[in-house]
Amino acid sequence: MSSDTTSHYRACHLCEAICGLEIKTRGDEIISIKGDKDDPVSRGYICPKATAIADIHNDPDRLREPVKRVGDEWVTISWDEALDLTAERLVGIQAQHGDNAVGFYAGNPGVHNYGNITHGTQLRRALKTRNNFSATSLDQLPHQLAAWAMYGHQFFLPVPDIDHTDLMVIFGGNPMASNGSMMTMPDAPGRIKALRARGGRLVVIDPRRSETAAVADQHIFVRPGSDAFVLLAIINTLFKEDLIRLNHLQDQLQGVAELAAAIEPFNCDLATQQSGIAAADIRQLANDLANTERAVLYGRMGVSVQEFGAVCQWAIQVINVLIGALDSQGGALLTSPAFASVRKGTPGGGHFDRFQSRVSGYPEFAGELPAAAMAEEILTPGNGQIKAMVSIAGNPLISSVNAGELETAFESLEFYVALDFYINASTRHADVILPPTGPLEHDHFDIAFLRLAIHNSARYNPPVFEPPAGSLHDWQIFNGLTERISALKGRDYRPLPAPDVVVDMGIKADIYGADANPEMALSMDKLKQYPHGIDLGPLQPGLSERLCTDDGLINLAPAFYLADLPRLLAASEQDGDALLLIGRRHVRSNNSWMHNYHRLVKGKPRWQLMMHPDDLKARGIDSDTQVTIESRVGKVTTTVIATDEVMPGVVSLPHGWGHQKKGVKMSIASQQQGVNCNELTDDKLLDQLSGNAVLNGVPVRVTAA
């Protein structure tokens, strides 16, 4: 390689695995993107998406300057004009209709871009609306609710110690495609291989023989949405068969007797009837989990975004406690990150049901309302109706439920501003689009996912390229807007310093800072000397001292979970013969925004509906033909393929597609044929307890088109 080539090291920001990258550049050209062999956790692993970061950087469709809608046209405007206009419109609408007339949607990539986390809150505070929504309630809200209710902090989230376990049981997660979630584990394939090579077992419970199920020791099909019955039956078995093996946490537990009484009706027979899993298999799972010294139970999207997502995630925590996995090596451990470690006194612990959504009375969690309520809050007239939306790093018209109604809602807004660098299915409805710098033009420290990693480490990297003159980072846009909004409202505003300064202060005051750990004395300056990251060692037990509950106890039986069990029992009495729709992820796709890069969309199509051959036959439909899929709220037409990868009664359609809409300016994505599966998901079908959306187990009808 010629001498004018420079190597840059950087963590990938695309998914939760945060793999280390080595990016070689020559001038302003990217020569190659490879794995960083010296990253202490990813150790050189990358997936095919990483190289597409070059395509994001170079994409001619990516906006570099703010644009304003004039009729059907987009006109480039200056940053001052864009920020002034946005602040004036938002404050004007709030002055006329009240603070709640502005709604806020924060999407997934914001969590992967740390300036959004350090600076986003100030903008939210300046706007002071109750109508805050985010991808949390399309995703991991049940995890956070269980963490808050049992451990006293929404981010007290133990992760599977996959590198040291002998049995990992996964309900509804597909790390071979997703690379892990709520469990930062770069190189899922390598880690799963290593688990099996040392004699450990992987068991997957999933309605589809997913990529992970395919490499597991055992795969058990489960009827979508029925996991709560199975998980409670496991608890039931643990009690009945005297399998409870509490560890050092036993003196800190409360609610054991209440739990045992409450789950009494949820036996294996009921679980079998609901889930299709043989009672013997459920008992075996309970026995294996209890009798394997280092075992862990993990559940992800498949058991979060379903009708009983909250009960499922609570039950998973309970089982890990009852088998002694919580806070044990090879079980579920809490990460010890350099920034924002969770321990007693950590702010932002969360709260639940302090206020409710205006139209349907759904509970808030940590100041957010369910994304499923967004459309009705925009469309239903009355005091507090949303008249303007702010979206940040989100594409809700593809990613959120009942996309058809949400589109009607967004069309009706008086004003919509998007912080985004694409004109996509959502932002095409905007009045103003504020594009931040591209991913390689800003520095990077992963606040969210270093906190959820299966191994402790810290890593900071400077930008690969200088940002273009006059461009703004997300956090600078937040500052610009917050300053203007505060001025218009006559409020004081002190801008926060740059994210690396904020994080530096946090790191110094945290567990590896000079005060707490003089030997390590971690700071941003020190991190900057280690471009591959600093290894902070394997996860350690020590959860007892970190517990955030007021009484220092773990409550196994929070009242609101027990109160939700009659709803679960009632569901067992309903019968339905509809097909149940589930989603699926593919390693070359990433939610809704990575379809504009040729290298990720080429090859055989991956957006079709999967259906079991028996279900096709029963309807007289041939494989590879056009079908119409219909739910209560919508209808889409796409190609069906026959496969026994899905169990009978289940159909699978991936999310994130549907870019063919008029006005979308993503030249490659808009040519892709995949349809938007969220035109089928139902805003009224949500987990009543947590308010989380139901994206899996949606009843649909499939007919020949």
Ligand X SMILES: Nc1nc2c(c(=O)[nH]1)N[C@H]1C(S)=C(S)[C@@H](COP(=O)(O)OP(=O)(O)OC[C@H]3O[C@@H](n4cnc5c(=O)[nH]c(N)nc54)[C@H](O)[C@@H]3O)O[C@H]1N2
By the rule CB under 6 A, 395 interacts with ligand X: yes
By the rule CB under 6 A, 173 interacts with ligand X: yes
At residue 551, what is the residue type?
Answer: D
Q: Which partner from the list Mo ion, ligand X, ligand SF4, none does 672 bind, CB cut-off 5 to 8 Å by kind?
A: none
Q: Do residues 608 and 638 lie in contact, with contact meaning Cβ atoms separated by under 8 Å?
A: yes
Q: Which partner from the list ligand X, Mo ion, ligand SF4, none does 548 bind, CB cut-off 5 to 8 Å by kind?
A: none
Question: Which one of 587, 675, 685, 689 is in contact with ligand X (CB under 6 A)?
Answer: 587
Nearest to ligand X of 429, 585 (CB atom): 585
Query: What does the alpha-carbon distance between residue 134 and residue 61 come to, in Å, rounded to a whole number?
Result: 25
**Residue 538 CB, nearest approach to Mo ion (Å):** 26
- Give the range of 7-15, 56-64, 514-522, 632-640 binding ligand SF4 by CB under 6 A: 7-15
By the rule CB under 6 A, 67 interacts with ligand SF4: no
By the rule CB under 6 A, 313 interacts with ligand X: no
**Residue 18 CB, nearest approach to ligand SF4 (Å):** 5
By the rule CB under 6 A, 396 interacts with ligand X: yes
Q: Which residue has tokens 């969770």?
A: 342
Q: Which residue has tokens 């709220």?
A: 633
By the rule CB under 5 A, 16 interacts with Mo ion: no
The residue among 145, 127, 439, 180 whose CA lies nearest residue 316 is: 145
Query: What does the alpha-carbon distance between residue 144 and residue 159 come to, in Å, rounded to a whole number?
Result: 13
Q: Do residues 612 and 644 lie in contact, with contact meaning Cβ atoms separated by under 8 Å?
A: yes
Question: Which one of 583, 634, 658, 674 is in contact with ligand X (CB under 6 A)?
Answer: 583
Please enumerate in sequence order all residues whose Cβ is within 8 A of that of 4, keeping only pairs 6 or more positions apart, or say none.
26, 27
- Considering only CA atoms, give the Rg of the chain: 24
Q: Do residues 474 and 119 lie in contact, with contact meaning Cβ atoms separated by under 8 Å?
A: yes
Between β-strands 609-611 and 635-642, what pairing exists: parallel, antiparallel or unpaired?
parallel
Other beta carbons within 10 Å of 552: 12
The residue among 371, 363, 367 whose CA lies nearest residue 391 is: 371
Nearest to ligand SF4 of 15, 450 (CB atom): 15
Rounded to the nearest 10°, the torsion over CA 51, 57, 60, 61 is 90
Chain centre to alpha carbon of residue 113: 14
By the rule CB under 6 A, 50 interacts with ligand SF4: yes
**Residue 298 CB, nearest approach to Mo ion (Å):** 16
By the rule CB under 6 A, 177 interacts with ligand X: yes
Between β-strands 218-220 and 201-205, what pairing exists: parallel, antiparallel or unpaired?
parallel
- Give the range of 136-144, 193-201, 217-225, 268-276 binding Mo ion by CB under 5 A: 136-144
By the rule CB under 6 A, 107 interacts with ligand X: yes
**Residue 332 CB, nearest approach to ligand SF4 (Å):** 22
By the rule CB under 6 A, 301 interacts with ligand X: yes
By the rule CB under 6 A, 47 interacts with ligand SF4: yes
- Give the range of 170-178, 553-561, 567-575, 632-640 binding ligand X by CB under 6 A: 170-178
CA distances from 296 to 124, 142, 267, 406 (A): 38, 18, 22, 39
Considering only residues 131 to 150 of the shown chain, the ones binding ligand X according to CB under 6 A are: 135, 138-139
Considering only residues 535 to 574 of the shown chain, the ones binding ligand X according to CB under 6 A are: none
Query: What does the alpha-carbon distance between residue 122 and residue 481 come to, in Å, rounded to a whole number?
Result: 10
By the rule CB under 6 A, 592 interacts with ligand SF4: no
The residue among 206, 228, 222, 209 whose CA lies nearest residue 275 is: 222
- Give the range of 529-537, 540-548, 570-578, 691-699 binding ligand X by CB under 6 A: 691-699
By the rule CB under 6 A, 342 interacts with ligand SF4: no
Nearest to ligand SF4 of 47, 413 (CB atom): 47
**Residue 594 CB, nearest approach to ligand X (Å):** 8
- Give the range of 87-95, 103-111, 495-503, 616-624 binding ligand X by CB under 6 A: 103-111
The residue among 700, 696, 675 whose CA lies nearest residue 207 is: 696
Residue 514 has what DSSP assignment?
T
Nearest to Mo ion of 14, 651 (CB atom): 14
By the rule CB under 6 A, 224 interacts with ligand X: yes
By the rule CB under 6 A, 388 interacts with ligand X: no
- Give the range of 93-101, 318-326, 618-626, 675-683 binding ligand X by CB under 6 A: 675-683
Considering only residues 452 to 491 of the shown chain, the ones binding ligand X according to CB under 6 A are: 474
CA distances from 232 to 227, 312, 332 (A): 8, 8, 19
Question: Which one of 39, 139, 227, 327 is in contact with Mo ion (CB under 5 A)?
Answer: 139
**Residue 369 CB, nearest approach to ligand X (Å):** 15
By the rule CB under 6 A, 12 interacts with ligand SF4: yes
Nearest to Mo ion of 372, 557 (CB atom): 372
Between β-strands 253-254 and 554-555, what pairing exists: parallel, antiparallel or unpaired?
parallel
Q: Do residues 445 and 462 lie in contact, with contact meaning Cβ atoms separated by under 8 Å?
A: no
# of chain residues touching ligand SF4 (CB under 6 A): 12
Q: Which partner from the list Mo ion, ligand SF4, ligand X, none does 19 bind, CB cut-off 5 to 8 Å by kind?
A: ligand SF4
Query: What does the alpha-carbon distance between residue 401 and residue 418 come to, in Å, rounded to a whole number?
Result: 19
By the rule CB under 6 A, 162 interacts with ligand SF4: no
Q: Which partner from the list Mo ion, ligand X, ligand SF4, none does 18 bind, CB cut-off 5 to 8 Å by kind?
A: ligand SF4
Nearest to ligand SF4 of 177, 277 (CB atom): 177
Helix (H) or strand (E) segment spanning residue 254 = strand 253-254
Question: Which one of 20, 200, 302, 658 is in contact with ligand X (CB under 6 A)?
Answer: 302
Site track for ligand SF4 across 179-218, x = CB under 6 A: x------x--------------------------------
Other beta carbons within 10 Å of 603: 8
By the rule CB under 6 A, 101 interacts with ligand SF4: no
Please enumerate in sequence order all residues whose Cβ is within 8 A of that of 694, keeping only pairs 6 or more positions apart, or say none.
225, 305, 306, 307, 309, 401, 681, 682, 685, 686, 687
- Give the range of 47-55, 124-132, 364-372, 509-517 binding ligand SF4 by CB under 6 A: 47-55
Rounded to the nearest 10°, the torsion over CA 525, 530, 535, 536 is 0
By the rule CB under 6 A, 685 interacts with ligand SF4: no
Query: What does the alpha-carbon distance between residue 570 and residue 57 come to, in Å, rounded to a whole number?
Result: 52
- Give the range of 29-37, 135-143, 192-200, 672-680 binding Mo ion by CB under 5 A: 135-143
CA distances from 235 to 160, 256, 301, 333 (A): 19, 11, 21, 20
**Residue 207 CB, nearest approach to ligand X (Å):** 5
The residue among 298, 326, 141, 319 whose CA lies nearest residue 206 is: 298
**Residue 250 CB, nearest approach to ligand X (Å):** 29
**Residue 174 CB, nearest approach to ligand X (Å):** 4
The residue among 118, 121, 112, 125 whose CA lies nearest residue 504 is: 118
Characterize 286-325 residue by residue with b for buried, 16 or more Cβ atoms within 10 angstroms of its Cβ, and e for exposed. bebbbebebbbbbbbbbbbbbbbbbbbbbbbbbbbbbbbb
For ligand X, the binding residues (CB under 6 A) are 15-16, 107-109, 113, 135, 138-139, 171-175, 177-179, 181, 205-208, 210, 222, 224-225, 227, 300-303, 306, 392-396, 398-399, 419-422, 424, 436, 474, 582-587, 589-593, 655, 677-678, 681, 695-697
* Residues found near ligand SF4 in the complex (CB under 6 A): 12, 14-15, 17-19, 46-47, 49-50, 179, 186
